Chains A and B, each alone.
Chain A
């Protein structure tokens, strides 16, 4: 369900082809999927969130977990394309202070890296 697509400039995009609710079971799947990804040569990981239509506490925990894993190895992570409802929840919980949220499309972000 999730893909990691490597691009130029040491960047990669995490995305999903279908819309999904980032809740319980899918959150656990996302975390497990992410653990299997090889990020050795990467510097920037962009999580394309345009297909997340709803997020609950388990979903937030899975993104925090991925964020902590990426940043602890000196790489950076950005959330792009967040829908308003999802962004509002993250902002309400002050997670805009933890995550970099970028409204641009992943390709545009990579161009400016």
Chain B
């Protein structure tokens, strides 16, 4: 049963309103003064207040203001009672936060309609706020899980030097990356980008991460071709209604070779002796639609070389001019930073993108991994 508090000094108005509301099963509370209204609301917790604007002790508008400034009461719906010709105060009351007004003399139907409508709206807003708050908590939890899976600190004194930028969109996203020891002086670095972003994409990216960890632990002689084929088998589009893209870089220090498998991630960039260029090995298609063949391409590397892997969220980032960041500016940025440490490149890129982006948040996930051999 909804509770309505009537604040009016005129007993005849209170009696009339009480009758109207009680006939429709409302619980009605009465109060005849302005002073102490907040205490009554605090103790009786009404669902709606009918407030007369002309009270003998305090102006109704003043009460309204004070209730709206009270954080515990600011969301309580207040319908003001006004004289039929009091247009000015009616508008002021609405400006001060009243949700509606009832002009005296009033018809019973009008009172019920206005009270019912405001209570319905209030309940809707409350349930919406609760749903948003639950969703926010779920997203924050998902973000925590996802962030816990990506590396957090840059390993010191390890080869190669590695640094990264990881910015999920709207808190959670479909990107995930990692670097792992494979034994025999070999390392694996990968970026996975699940189509889309949000909770479902982030859940799938966490699954892929887990799958890769398990795969590496159970395959001591890691083979990149077999790994890609296994991914294809396990992440069929039909299962999730989403596809994944991945770039996997196997660094073999004993042979000084890089082995690269790329299914749908933008071309990596390579720097050697001051030259910056894309690695234009043939790409595979997306994972999960039966088009992965396990194609791996290899190249030599030397001490001092750098390689940059990144997801399409970086090149497709929309700037304040509504244009995508694109490949050329990225190439130019890296060209200008060719003599910098990978940690400084990442730091500068982060700053650059924060100034460049159209919105305060990232529309798509951005992962950028810089490796220095």
Shortest A20–chain B CB gap in Å is 16
A1–chain B nearest beta-carbon distance, Å: 19
Closest to B244 in A: A57
Contact (Cβ within 8 A) B195 A65 = no
State A68–B288 Cα separation when bound (angstroms).
12
Q: Give the chain B neighbours of A92 by CB distance below 8 A.
A: 283
Report how many A-B pairs have Cβ atoms within 8 Å.
47
Chain B residues with Cβ under 8 A from A58's Cβ? 195-196
Q: Does B364 contact A (CB under 8 A)?
A: yes
CB <8 Å contact, A97 and B285: yes
Nearest CB of A to B314, in Å: 13
Asked if A93 and B238 make an inter-chain contact with CB atoms under 8 angstroms apart, the answer reads no
Within 8 A of B (CB), among A1-54: 24, 27
Chain B residues within an 8 Å CB radius of A24: 196-197
Q: Which residues of A contact B (CB under 8 A)?
A: 24, 27, 56-58, 60-61, 64-65, 68, 92-95, 97-98
> In the bound complex, do residue A60 and residue B283 qualify as a contact, i.e. CB atoms below 8 Å apart?
no
Per a CB cutoff under 8 Å, which of B243, B283, B284, B364 touches A61? B243
The CA of A61 and the CA of B200, in the complex, are separated in Å by 13
- 8 A/B residue pairs, CB under 8 Å, sorted by A: A56-B316, A57-B243, A57-B312, A65-B237, A65-B241, A94-B284, A94-B286, A95-B286
CB-based contact A94/B237 at 8 Å: no
Chain A positions within 8 Å of B286 at CB level: 60, 93-95
Query: CB within 8 A of A93: which of B174, B237, B264?
Result: B264
Q: Give Cα distance in the complex from A12 to B316, angstroms.
A: 34
> Does A94 lie within 8 Å of B243, measured CB to CB?
no
* Contact of A61 with B196 in the complex, beta carbons under 8 Å: yes
